[in-house]
Structure 1
Amino acid sequence: MKYEWTDEYCLSKVGVEKDFKVEWNATRYMIRGKMFAMRGGDKEGKPILTIKLEPSFGAFLRTQYRDIVPGYYMNKEHWNSLYLEGNVPDETVREMLDNAYSIVFAALSGKVRRELEEGD
């Protein structure tokens, strides 16, 4: 499967936690319980990585790549699903994950951001 590096990439970011949600059969990547990405499958079992993005960035990417679609079982404005068997360049996927992480990190309180940055 392509994009196997995404697990390590997500976990390399400050404060990221990973869990497996059995009911969804999906691995979630979160900062203090707030999800920014999730690896799972669509209704046909095709592997996808669902990523939170700024709405305009997500809409742009969907026009550029057929393997990026509105978020599967998520808010279609803020979430986008990437088919892991697709042909989106690694650099674009990194940019998507960076954007998702930044959105969630920025939404945390200043106190929590400082704690995470200081390693507490």
Structure 2
Amino acid sequence: MTTDAVHAELVSLYAGSTPVRSRWSYRADQPFTVVAAFQTDRNRWVEWVFARDLLAEGLMTSAGMGDVRLHPVTDRGLEMLVVEIESPEGYAMLELDLGGVADFLDATEEVVPPGEESEYFDVDGLIDEITKV
């Protein structure tokens, strides 16, 4: 694959019935994380950044102890990924098509194979950014 980024749009269900658009993205220059943005209003998106490893684990079993928790579930014959997000502003539990999220994760692994993240991560750039405060 020649691209250094992956993007996907997925529809999730909130409270079991309300559709919520989400945008998922991954960039090679930030190889350890994925960004999931959920549309809350017509022009407002809320972004959550979390570890790609957390997403991979959450597709198979319960994962996460903090603000983002994931677990797979099968209900009415549908395989879904439950994403629970929490902040001081509130809590949401969303259900996404497990296959769609797995396809997104597979695409990220084509951009940066698991275990090779440190080869894409610019430590010098991060230090430069932090020291320019």
Give the TM-score of the pair, scaled to structure 1. 0.28
Higher share in helix: 1
Higher share in strand: 2
Give the TM-score of the pair, scaled to structure 2. 0.26
Instruction: Tell me which structure has the larger Cα radius of gyration.
Output: 2
